[in-house]
Amino acid sequence: MLSDSHRRAATVKLSFEFPFYGHLVRNVTVATGGFLYTGDYVHAWLTATQYIAPLMANFDTSASNESFVKYVDNGTAFTVQWENIHLKDRAEKGAFTFQVTLHKNGNIVFVYKNIPAKITDIEDAHHPVKIGISDAYVVDKNIFFVRKKTIYEYHRVQFTKNDVQNSTIIFLLALPTCSTLKDCASCLESNIGFECVWCPSTERCSDGVDRSRQEWLAKECHLANQTKKDECSASERRMPSSTVEPPYDLPPQAPALEVRQEQEEQGSGSYFAVAFGVLLSVLVLSFVVWAVYAYFNPHSSSGQFLIRYRPNQWQWRRGEARYMAATIHM
């Protein structure tokens, strides 16, 4: 499938957990554009972030019968090779062959066998040209009854395009991160170049900026966290009691007050939904009446406007680096 496609991607399940920025990745998406996508949420804009890119460019494997995208998983390493692939509409630049290997310990290796053209000469008008890695976190929000996902890139490693030529090898050594530390003591004793803190509510170590940032903020880990090892032992000594007791005294009216607040919020939300629905109906009806009038009165100003901007000339603006995704089971 990938060996005869353009802007196509397929998700492959690894036989091992690959630590990427401390986050354990089990599924990677292989793209014809010379990169891997490591995000949990597969979307059309794979080139933006959360990628591992030995050479991201506008490659088209359907341009030649000798072009292949091959991958192998031996249990401790996963290798993808883009072999004899050509740039879209630029076959005269020659065939590119390169590969990337993900090791179980988190190390990444880029190997370049044949780079027939300078990377700086590859056009990026219709597709990004990148060499490196990047990661981001995703934040879910509900805005006017619409669920919205926003992706925030928090780190990127980018190599200059002059660094790559024939027989080049780039080795990326995985460094420890806060999220790889699984207990409070090791988290707060660490000296890895990050300000690691321990969050008791999530039982996670973090510097606050990783893929779990939304949970970190939702559980108020940025406000209530532990920064000293003595606090770890104190929290470990606090064992849960066999009897259910509230952590603090609540006034008798507190639960009822919370319920009333929820009801008021739900009521205001329902009122807003009804008002929005009525307004939308009025707008749609007004548009239909105007369109009918313009259609049967072509000499009017409305009719001339409809003729000039008739619907068969409307087009959605197309993205320049959208990918179609599929799933491959190994």
Residue 24: predicted pLDDT? 95
pLDDT exceeds cutoff 50 at 146? yes
**pLDDT above 90 coverage of the chain, percent:** 50
* The model scores a pTM over 0.85: no
Where exactly does CATH 3.30.1680 map onto the chain? Answer: 178-237
Look at residue 170 in the predicted model and tell me its pLDDT: 96
Which phi and psi (to 5°) does residue 99 adopt? Answer: -150, 165
Residue pair 132/156 in contact by the 8 Å Cβ criterion: yes
The answer to whether domain 178-237 has CATH 3.30.1680 is yes
pLDDT of 62 above 80: yes
Report the pLDDT averaged over residues 283-305: 78
Greater confidence (328 vs 66) lies with: 66
pLDDT given for residue 292 in this prediction: 82
pLDDT of residue 323: 54
Q: How far is CA 9 from the centre of its chain?
A: 14
Mean pLDDT of 117-122: 92
Q: Distance between CA 188 and CA 195 in Å, rounded?
A: 9
Looking at residue 311, its pLDDT comes to: 52
Residue of higher predicted confidence among 264 and 191: 191
pLDDT of residue 173: 96
Asked if residues 145 and 163 have their Cβ atoms less than 8 Å apart, the reply is no
Residue 86 has pLDDT above 80, yes or no: yes
Q: Give 228-250 pLDDT, tens digit per residue.
A: 888 887 555 443 433 333 332 33
